Structure 1
Amino acid sequence: MGQHILPGDPPIDLTLRRSGRARRISLRVSGLDGKVTLTLPHGVPEREALAFAAEKQAWLRRQLDKRPDQQAIGMGEALPLQGVMHRIALGTGRRIVAKDGILHVPGPEATLAPRLQAWLKAQARDRLAAASDYYAAKLGHPYTRLTLRDTRSRWGSCSSAGGLMYSWRLIMAPAPVLDYVAAHEVAHLAEMNHSPAFWATVDRLYPGYEPHRRWLRENGTTLHSYRFGD
């Protein structure tokens, strides 16, 4: 439906969207890019939706203030790798090397971000495949395929056909957090729900998972703050 601006200091950009499935006016702040979407059902006037957004302005600004600052990727900057902060420095040769808290990235700085992103995705695929293989063998249920995405609403999923999907940004989380997500999704191969039986399966695959689940709830949005120009 277009863009609108909610006045204030600073003004807030709103994207208005009509939905035939919506039953009420709603506001959503993206955890990935901070985009604010105002959704309204068919038949509801725009002015009514904008008035709703104005009424919710204090709440909206609190949600935006909670978002971590966007962090660009460049020489001298830092980002987490398996939960450990690494400073980005110019490397030699042709390969990216992580050593002693430093990510040595060769090549021109103009292409640093996409090359580092590709490297992180490769690291994520290796780690997630190894973890998924381990937990699938422990469960006795093989999966059919593994894909990586940059999802904003979930860290992983399991399809009814046995396909596993993960966010590649899990490679930036502490290693036990990545392992928990892998165990969680593999458990869905046996239990396609979140019933007590499912959580019992997760606990059998990865005992003591709760602190890692909590870390993701409390810190996961930070992993989305690193922008690679995509």
Structure 2
Amino acid sequence: MVALLARGDCLRLSNSSACTAFVPSSIPVRGSVPCLKSQEDELGAISPVDDEYYKHDAGGYYTDDAPRAPEGMSPSLNNVTLCGRIGFIDQPVSLGNGNKALRLSIATSDVSMSVLFNSLKRGRMGAVRTSWHKVVIYGQGNVDYIQSRARVGELALVVGALSYYTPQTPEGMPYRAKIAEIAVRQRWSGHTFILMPRTAQSGDDYANHPIDGVSDSYGNP
């Protein structure tokens, strides 16, 4: 039988060189997630310390090194990722600051789990719901890349930010509703547009014409 030998602040197995230390700690609890720390129980014994939660010697630790928002300010994020097929590519426009912009549409498809489950039981695929998303690309390099390589029906990966604009009628009157779109800005970190061409060409089922009676107004990136 293996015996336990007590030596000072360590408990050591007689047939092992490993030593588990039990030390006191006064590290406080901070935030919504309590940090593990050593505490003395009612009998005076000391509980072990979990070193993974501590990275420094001072008090007031969070459980990780993720950046926090300043005091009194809530963190926020505006990031949209789409992966779908290109349905319409508009003509590029020149902005007042010498930059270029171009609009296109991306189609994504999804099937609800209930429809998919019932359809698989019957041996056929369920109805697919297609959603169209407006995407605006900023930057002369990005616009030239799309003009020279993008084709209707090809797969594309889009990472950008959600933005809104108010379209106008041919008479110059603004609509009451705002239109949501994904803006891919050249100077913003993380924004990207990647083409994934198809290996086999097939007939395109996508409309390649603008919406009649609506003129889009571009904003600066």
Same fold (TM over 0.5): no
**TM-score relative to the length of structure 2:** 0.22
Whose strand fraction is larger, Structure 1's or Structure 2's? 2
Find the structure with the greater CA-based Rg: 2
Whose helix fraction is larger, Structure 1's or Structure 2's? 1
**TM-score relative to the length of structure 1:** 0.21
